[in-house]
Structure 1
Amino acid sequence: MSVLVTGGAGYIGSHTVLRLCDAGQDVVVLDNLTTGFDWAVDPRAEFVQGDVADGALTRSLIASHGISAIIHFAGSIIVPESVADPLKYYRNNTSASRSLIEAAVEGGVSHFIFSSTAAVYGMSGLEPVGEDAALAPVSPYGRSKLMTEMMLADVAAAHPLTYGVLRYFNVAGADPRGRTGQSTAGATHLIKVAAEAALGKREKVAVFGDDFPTPDGTGVRDYIHVTDLADAHALLLEHLRDGGASTTLNCGYGKGASVRQVLEAVRRVSGVEFTIEQGPRRAGDPAAIVARADRIRETLGWVPAHDDLDAIIASALRWEQHLSQRNRHG
């Protein structure tokens, strides 16, 4: 009952690999290292460098390792880039996912977990958004993810495959034991960017928009610690293996923090007054995107262990310090 984790050398993937290996699972990681790092892969897992779109490779891995479940993280995730280069996103996200799902069906894989996004909801309004809300993504990134959700539903109706879709909200933080974290250069996640600014790795933090219909005018997001998100994947895998039905679940805490609140928290936790530059809104940015998070708790018995903004920021800062030391020492 081995698990194939695609994109397992990346940010969320590497945390989930840690969680699975800590639980004694047999894990195979497939990653092309475009944005991931081989050193981020838990040494207890077997690492294979390659592309999920390579059908011959994925079929070989499924057969040779007796893969019974796939957790699919691999893909491109930057919204503005998807607007500028939509075909890249339909290739890396939608087309590559189709190839992987086909290999899973042909190889008799029983369970498939897909890394999706709150971007499938589009401009959702100020209230928390539930899984049954209208799906209206406004970017090629969101649409490329929604297309894969739809493919999985159709394939599961036609073949003996159960699946889980996890729609992430804003993921942040790092492994509490310091084993992995967000390591990609030029990342656009707010807490990552602010942590870099606090440690002198960036000159400033840009804020996009201060005229949203929110309490302080800046965008509101639901920030979830990456370790809690990794736990959700492990619990979802257990749910499917125990005969649970296919399901789609939001991954968030059900509460929001504004951009301004996050930056104030990073300043408070770090003790550093870094520069903040106010700019106009970006096209397609919703005023707020917060999860209704009751379904994941009820379905999986998921109980977050790191639901504290200051603790999330502290772990991100510790990881940035670790990266600075690692880079200095090669």
Structure 2
Amino acid sequence: MNILITGGAGYIGSHTARALLEQGHKVCVFDNLSRGHKEAVQRTVGLEQLTIASLHDTDRLTQVLLSEGIELVIHLAAFALVGESQTRPEMYFRNNVLGSQSLLSAMNQANVHKLIVSSTTAVYGTPRQMPITESFERAPVNQYGRTKLEMELSLEHAVSQSDLAVVALRYFNAAGAHPNGDLGEDHHPETHLIPITLQVALGQREQLEIFGDDYATPDGTCVRDYVHVCDLASAHICAMDVLSSGKVQYFNIGTGAGTSVSEVLDACRKVSGHPIPSVAGIRRSGDPDILYADNSKAVSELKWSPKYTSIEQIVETAWKWHSESPSGYRSG
């Protein structure tokens, strides 16, 4: 199948591109490179398959969809920093909501009717019970989550007016790197726990600041569901088989188990062989105590299941990437 990945130069996009290529699909990447990496595209689909342009350029999107004979779009292009979304809400609305609407317009003009999109656990806000199922109320508590909810609502409206088929994957905490060690997480600034912790191991940071150690969890630190990026990539492939016209189908993509910040730190110490000093800081506003997925719908309907089921397995791949490429893609 001919597939276009928006945001295909990013962390999840590059891993998804490689997984699709390994399945024999033709993959094109559409990315403005504001947060993605040309090197990631070079290491997956090749630069000849990269279109550097904005999602807001509907005409260019339409042109690529038509010229490449695209049959399916995987839409991963989005800004995803919760803190930044709170200080720059207009930018997040323009990119995540209006950009998605531009894509829908281009797909309509090019007669492309199959779409898989990245959504997020942030649409659930702060649920009162665990695990989180797809039927939970959507009540985001930050601007990032709100823009993803707006995207979901736009998709629901679009399918009601057309034969568009949509699967929306609600990611939990993406983590890890490709086991080959040539693709991985390289954000600027870095805000994710595992990369930051491993940067301390590499001497790039003095210590890990733990945001609160007085939560209602067994060790006092926040608990999250960490899902390997390659498992996320495989979920997109599984989703291709269940696309159905006139429907938006939602799936939680997580391991179904929670891991605390302290447990992540212990795994990073064990895998890296470094002591990794840490200090307890104050809580971040709006951080729930515990978040983890009920992934039973994805397991039963997508026939998907995570291969990386322990935090140590995930950290091992991340450590290979960070230790071999300490400056990310700039390492060469």
TM > 0.5? yes
In structure 2, what is the equivalent of residue 60 of structure 1? 63
Superposed structure 1 runs of 4+ greater than 3 Å apart: 243-246, 325-330
| Of 307, 310, 313, the match for 1:311 | 313
Secondary structure in structure 2 of the residue aligned to 1:67: coil
Query: What amino acid maps onto 1:322 in structure 2?
Result: E
Secondary structure in structure 1 of the residue aligned to 2:241: helix
Secondary structure in structure 1 of the residue aligned to 2:168: strand
The separation in 2 between residues aligned to 1:117 and 1:293, in whole angstroms, is 13
In structure 2, what is the equivalent of residue 201 of structure 1? 204
| Percent sequence identity over aligned pairs | 41
Deviation at 1:269, TM superposition (A): 1.3
Query: What amino acid maps onto 2:291 in structure 1?
Result: I
The separation in 2 between residues aligned to 1:148 and 1:157, in whole angstroms, is 14
Distance 1:67 1:329, change over 3 A: closer
Confirm or deny: 8 A CA contact 1:125 1:289 kept in the other structure.
no
Output the TM-score relative to the length of structure 2.
Answer: 0.95
In structure 2, what is the equivalent of residue 291 of structure 1? 293
Deviation at 1:322, TM superposition (A): 2.2
Deviation at 1:329, TM superposition (A): 5.9
Alignment deviations for residues 195-222 of structure 1 (CA, whole Å, 9 cap, x no partner): 1111112222111111211111111000
Query: What amino acid maps onto 1:16 in structure 2?
Result: T
Confirm or deny: 8 A CA contact 1:214 1:287 kept in the other structure.
yes
Output the TM-score relative to the length of structure 1.
Answer: 0.96
The separation in 1 between residues aligned to 2:231 and 2:111, in whole angstroms, is 30
The separation in 2 between residues aligned to 1:89 and 1:180, in whole angstroms, is 26
Deviation at 1:101, TM superposition (A): 1.1
The separation in 2 between residues aligned to 1:205 and 1:92, in whole angstroms, is 31
Query: What amino acid maps onto 1:305 in structure 2?
Result: K
In structure 2, what is the equivalent of residue 14 of structure 1? 14
The separation in 2 between residues aligned to 1:155 and 1:43, in whole angstroms, is 30
Q: Pairwise CA RMSD of aligned residues?
A: 1.7
In structure 2, what is the equivalent of residue 27 of structure 1? 27
Confirm or deny: 8 A CA contact 2:155 2:248 kept in the other structure.
no
Deviation at 1:327, TM superposition (A): 6.7
Alignment deviations for residues 21-48 of structure 1 (CA, whole Å, 9 cap, x no partner): 1111011101111111111011357111
Confirm or deny: 8 A CA contact 2:6 2:29 kept in the other structure.
yes
Secondary structure in structure 2 of the residue aligned to 1:188: coil
The separation in 1 between residues aligned to 2:288 and 2:91, in whole angstroms, is 23
Deviation at 1:328, TM superposition (A): 7.9
Counting only pairs closer than 5 Å after superposition, residues 130-141 of structure 1 correspond to structure 2 as: 130-141=133-144
Query: What amino acid maps onto 2:76 in structure 1?
Result: F
Deviation at 1:278, TM superposition (A): 1.1
Distance 1:244 1:320, change over 3 A: farther
In structure 1, what is the equivalent of residue 88 of structure 2? 85
Query: What amino acid maps onto 2:237 in structure 1?
Result: A
Confirm or deny: 8 A CA contact 1:125 1:286 kept in the other structure.
no
Listed as ranges, the gaps of 5+ residues in structure 2 are: none
Query: What amino acid maps onto 2:6 in structure 1?
Result: T
Alignment deviations for residues 132-151 of structure 1 (CA, whole Å, 9 cap, x no partner): 00111000000000110111
In structure 2, what is the equivalent of residue 259 of structure 1? 261
